Structure 1
Amino acid sequence: MPGTASASIVTGIVFAPLGLVLVFTAAITPQWREGQARLGRVGTGVGESRGIELLLLRSDGLWESCLQVVHSELRECWPVSGAYQHDSRVRATRGLVLTSLFLCGSGIVLASVGARCWTDTPLRNVAGAGGLLVALAGVLSLAALSIYTHHLPKLAVELVSNMSDFQGLDLHKLPSLALRPAGSLYFGWVGAWVQVLGGLALLFGVGRPQCPGRTRRVQREIVMKAYDVSC
């Protein structure tokens, strides 16, 4: 059915960029894992006995790590370094994510060129190749996220004690952080599945009958030939 083909191709063209944006957002944000440590309490005014408990929030991404004291303006971020940066699992995750972004971008370009339903001659093979690249990008994103999530508790934690905003705080005396998955991972999971669905939608649409414009043109040609024969 031509309508089904068009709907499938349009769905793929919409889903593919959406998945690319979500995976890219996950890649550049430093919330792949996070943990908290207690810093103690500070008073909020005269006569306050309990005060506010300050928490040190640590978060790590693929390219950046951050420390922030909750309920304050103290925040510092720096490029990942040390054992965490050179961990083979982190490096594998980064490589897979970069490859996924490149393949998805290339697939979107091919799909846009090939799925030309506004013309009479869509390039189905080109659109199908684009869908295949987008689906493959989603699979690579899922692989990267699976590797990072599975090994998250084993990845090293580098404490940086020479940061300007945290002078006077001995970070090495803080209790160990219980790190857990954070928001960037969830963006990545959603984006990866959207990429897979978008790629499959493009492949499904390519295998369908030709676009409505071409179908109508062929029908007109058949009617005209029949008219010429009858005359």
Structure 2
Amino acid sequence: MRTPGIFIFGMVLAPCGWLLELVSTVAPAWRTINNIPGQPIDLVLQQGLWDICKTFASSQNIICNQQDTQYFSAQIIQIARGLMLASLILNVIAIGVASAGVRCWSDNPHWTVAGVGGVLIFISGVLTIIPVAWYTHIMTSIFSTSTDIRVGYCLVLGFIGGCMEVLGGLVMSIGLCRRCDGRKSRTDAVKFARYPSPPHRVTSLSVISASSAASSVPYYSKQSEMDFTRAKTQRDSRPVNTANKARPYDSDL
């Protein structure tokens, strides 16, 4: 049996979403700060969940491991770290469970196991979208030395990866609905076997033959009987030429 298309769709989106989440978690580019007072005009400060880097537009140099106690002490940073790590770990477990349920080398896939894996993938995507959306909403309110704050590419990658996981997990979860439909069909079959429907009434052939024979008997109405009598009377009342009948012919001699 071929692998259902919903499982192939989910098994492709889940690893792709996990890679985007990994880059979003590790890379220090959740937001960028430009035009910092007292710093060179080409300096761009990139801030992430685990690291802060300085980049210079003129020389393309990158200096990481920058310290910013006020930024890392923000509540959103601590929550985002925990949710992103939980999402990465849960996604790995979900892909393993879904792979065991799909089993392309078996005759029939395990719909329940694959559906549970899809639910876990869906939850993993939700855990990614929550911190990304929250960080984007309060990005300008987090401590910064400049007011020129822009969205980093990590937020975009994290949002795309989370949406891919949500969509893939939601599609794979249809396997649970398929499982429920199969149980309902088996229950209906058991009920039908336990309480069979009454037999249908069959009309006997003898009755049909009798009715056909009865219908083949000719029917004479009173009017037809009167017409027959009138025609017989007219035929009997025709004159008979007795003269010609009494005269002998030469052939009689």
Contact 1:62-1:80 at 8 Å conserved across structures: no
Query: Distance in 1 between the 2:158 and 2:90 partners?
Result: 16
Report the RMSD for the aligned CA atoms in angstroms. 2.3
TM superposition shift of 1:73? 4.4
Contact 1:8-1:201 at 8 Å conserved across structures: yes
TM superposition shift of 1:200? 1.0
Query: Distance in 1 between the 2:132 and 2:153 partners?
Result: 12
TM superposition shift of 1:74? 3.6
Contact 1:100-1:140 at 8 Å conserved across structures: yes
Instruction: Using the TM superposition, name which of 106-115 and 76-85 deviates more.
Output: 76-85
1:1-231 alignment, distance < 5 Å: 6-37=4-35, 54-78=41-65, 81-157=68-144, 176-208=146-178
Cα distance change on mapping 1:37 and 1:146 into 2, 3 Å: same
What TM-score comes out, normalization by structure 2 length? 0.65
SS of alignment partner, residue 95 of structure 2? helix
| Count of residues in correspondence between the two structures | 178
Larger Rg: 2
Query: Distance in 1 between the 2:104 and 2:178 partners?
Result: 12
TM superposition shift of 1:146? 1.3
Contact 1:63-1:80 at 8 Å conserved across structures: no
Q: Which residue matches 1:46? A: none
**Runs of 4+ more than 3 Å apart:** 205-209
TM superposition shift of 1:117? 3.6
TM superposition shift of 1:76? 0.9
SS of alignment partner, residue 129 of structure 2? helix
| Ranges in structure 2 where 5+ consecutive residues have no aligned partner | 180-253
Contact 1:115-1:124 at 8 Å conserved across structures: yes
Deviations 1:178-220 (A, max 9, x none): 11211111001100000001101211245348xxxxxxxxxxx
Deviations 1:115-140 (A, max 9, x none): 12431242222211111110001111
Query: Between the two proteins, what is the percent identity of the paired residues?
Result: 33
Q: Which residue matches 1:221? A: none
More strand by percentage: 1
Query: Distance in 1 between the 2:91 and 2:35 partners?
Result: 39
Contact 1:54-1:71 at 8 Å conserved across structures: no
* Amino acid aligned to 2:154: S
Deviations 1:91-126 (A, max 9, x none): 111111111111111100000011124312422222
Query: Distance in 1 between the 2:162 and 2:65 partners?
Result: 27
Query: Distance in 1 between the 2:93 and 2:130 partners?
Result: 19
SS of alignment partner, residue 207 of structure 1? helix
